[in-house]
């Protein structure tokens, strides 16, 4: 009897579990349109999204690219994303999304605040996703084929996350950008991506243009609005004053020849004394050779001194000029993307004065030096 009772209870629980699970729809991965990258444009006052969706091949072997793009428009971003679901017939799933691209027109005309909220408030959207803006429309960007790998989103995001810091390009992610637009001076930046076409032929997608991505400029935003676009040299100047970014290359003259010096490491400290912000940058240089790319860690064997002092002096001057150039832009457009306001906040606390303290009112000193690594 006892065992019968047990069996009864077990069956009851199992039945209940199954019954309850009827209203419990697990989505198979095949029922989802798994989006890896999302491009957002403004077309005729409507939001157009272009999603790069994983598209499985037939059978166990992958034939062709593993992603396809789908575009849809809507009055809001949410509506546009939902419309992509209508097109694919699957639920749009953004949990694996690694790239957000804003089109040029959207950036110029639209406040990005609402768009960012859509992602920031989502529980499963990755805050580490790379965010950038692009020349032309995001749709064009996604519809091109990256020359070295198949997927636009994966390659662009991987490049910007891993490579940028070694080629002196500051990058940002969703979290940093969203924070920068809400805190203190409310200014931040996004990488500006351009495409360079190539004549390489793709075996998989011959109809699509083959391109390389160039992202060596940054666009500045304040309160979710576009402010200005930094030139390439200003971006290099910015990278000099930014932590965790290295790999600046300087070409200097030596005995009438051009010599390339690479700075894989730098020491950066920002202090605030007597009302003056002091940036102290020490660039650690070595001769650019085939095998010293990416040696930006501290545990590299030291070489004999090879760089004459006059070259170091030239680098110092060049770096100083780059930094000044960048700083001029900062004061001109009143934005702070090097975190000077954050420094002041940690020193004096948050107050309304600090939040609207214009860059012109902050006295700055640069001391940039160069030494051999």
Q: Which is nearer to another protein, 26 or 89 (CB)?
A: 26
Q: Helix 232-240 and helix 309-333: axis angle, to 10°?
A: 110
Question: CA 339, CA 323: separation in Å to the nearest integer?
Answer: 15
Q: By CB under 8 A, what part of segment 26-55 binds another protein?
A: 26-30, 32, 34, 36, 54
Its sign, for the CA torsion 248, 197, 61, 49, is positive
Query: Segment 339-368, which members bind another protein (CB under 8 A)?
Result: 342-343, 345-350
Q: Give the residue, chosen from 7, 8, 57, 76, that forms a contact with another protein under the rule CB under 8 A.
A: 57
Cα separations (Å) of 190 from 165, 216, 225? 15, 11, 12
Closest separation between CB of residue 6 and another protein, Å? 8
Contact status: 69 vs another protein (CB under 8 A): no
Which of 162/328 has CB closer to another protein?
Answer: 162
Min dist CB 342 to another protein, Å, is 7
Least gap, CB of 66 to another protein (angstroms): 5
Cβ atoms within 10 Å, residue 24? 9
Which residue in 8, 56, 113, 358 binds another protein (CB under 8 A)?
A: 56
Give the separation between CA 172 and CA 101, rounded to whole angstroms: 12
Q: Is 68 among the residues that bind another protein (CB under 8 A)? A: no
Q: Which of residues 125 and 250 has its CB atom nearest to another protein in the complex?
A: 125
Return d(Cα 38, Cα 54) in angstroms, integer.
12
- Residue 311 CB, nearest approach to another protein (Å): 34
Measured from the CB atom, is 125 or 226 closer to another protein?
A: 125
Question: Per CB under 8 A, which of residues 243..282 are in contact with another protein?
Answer: none
Site for another protein in 150-209 (CB under 8 A): 154, 157-158, 161-162, 175, 178-179, 182-183
Residues in the chain: 373
Among the listed residues 98, 169, 185, 322, the single contact to another protein using CB under 8 A: 98
Q: Which of residues 12 and 260 has its CB atom nearest to another protein in the complex?
A: 12
**Residues of this chain, 104-123, that bind another protein according to CB under 8 A:** 120-121, 123
Query: Of the listed pieces 70-78, 126-134, 140-148, 355-363, which binds another protein according to CB under 8 A?
Result: 126-134
Nearer to another protein, 191 or 314 (CB): 191
Cα distance between residue 40 and residue 99, in whole Å: 11
Q: Does 78 bind another protein (CB under 8 A)?
A: no
Closest to another protein by CB, 140 or 171: 171
* Residue with Cβ nearer another protein (90 or 266): 90
Instruction: Give the footprint of another protein on this chain (CB under 8 A).
Output: 13, 16-18, 20-21, 23-30, 32, 34, 36, 54, 56-62, 66, 91, 93, 95-96, 98, 120-121, 123-124, 126-130, 154, 157-158, 161-162, 175, 178-179, 182-183, 342-343, 345-350
């Amino acid at each position: 009897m006892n065992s019968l009772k047990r069996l009864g209870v077990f069956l009851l629980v199992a039945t209940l579990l199954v019954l309850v699970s009827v209203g419990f729809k697990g989505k198979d991965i095949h029922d989802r349109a798994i989006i890896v990258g999302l491009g957002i444009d403004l077309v005729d006052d409507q939001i157009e999204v272009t999603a790069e969706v994983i598209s499985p091949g037939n059978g166990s072997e992958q034939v062709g690219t593993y992603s396809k793009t789908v575009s849809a428009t809507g009055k809001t971003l949410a509506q546009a994303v939902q419309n992509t679901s209508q097109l694919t017939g699957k639920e749009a799933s953004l949990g694996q999304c690694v790239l957000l691209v804003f089109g040029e027109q959207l950036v110029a005309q639209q406040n990005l605040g609402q768009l960012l909220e859509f992602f920031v408030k989502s529980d499963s959207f990755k805050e580490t996703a790379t965010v950038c803006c692009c020349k032309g429309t995001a749709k064009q960007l996604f519809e091109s084929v990256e020359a070295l790998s198949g997927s636009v989103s994966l390659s662009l995001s991987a490049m910007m996350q891993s490579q940028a810091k070694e080629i002196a390009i500051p990058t940002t992610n969703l979290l940093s950008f969203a924070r920068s637009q809400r805190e203190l001076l409310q200014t931040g930046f996004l990488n500006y991506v351009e495409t360079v076409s190539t004549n390489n032929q793709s075996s998989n997608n011959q109809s699509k243009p083959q391109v390389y991505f160039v992202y060596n400029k940054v666009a500045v935003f304040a309160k979710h609005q576009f402010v200005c676009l930094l030139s390439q040299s200003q971006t290099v100047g910015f990278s000099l004053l930014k932590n965790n970014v290295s790999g600046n290359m300087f070409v200097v003259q030596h005995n009438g020849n051009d010599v390339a010096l690479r700075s894989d490491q730098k020491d950066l400290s920002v202090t605030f004394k007597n009302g003056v912000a002091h940036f102290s940058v020490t660039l650690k240089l070595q001769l650019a050779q085939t095998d010293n790319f990416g040696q930006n860690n501290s545990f590299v064997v030291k070489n004999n001194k090879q760089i004459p002092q006059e070259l170091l002096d030239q680098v110092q001057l060049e770096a100083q000029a780059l930094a000044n150039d960048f700083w001029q832009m900062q004061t001109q457009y009143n934005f702070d993307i090097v975190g000077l306001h954050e420094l002041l906040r940690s020193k004096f606390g948050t107050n309304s004065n600090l939040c609207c303290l214009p860059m012109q009112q902050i006295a700055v000193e640069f001391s940039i030096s160069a030494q051999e690594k």
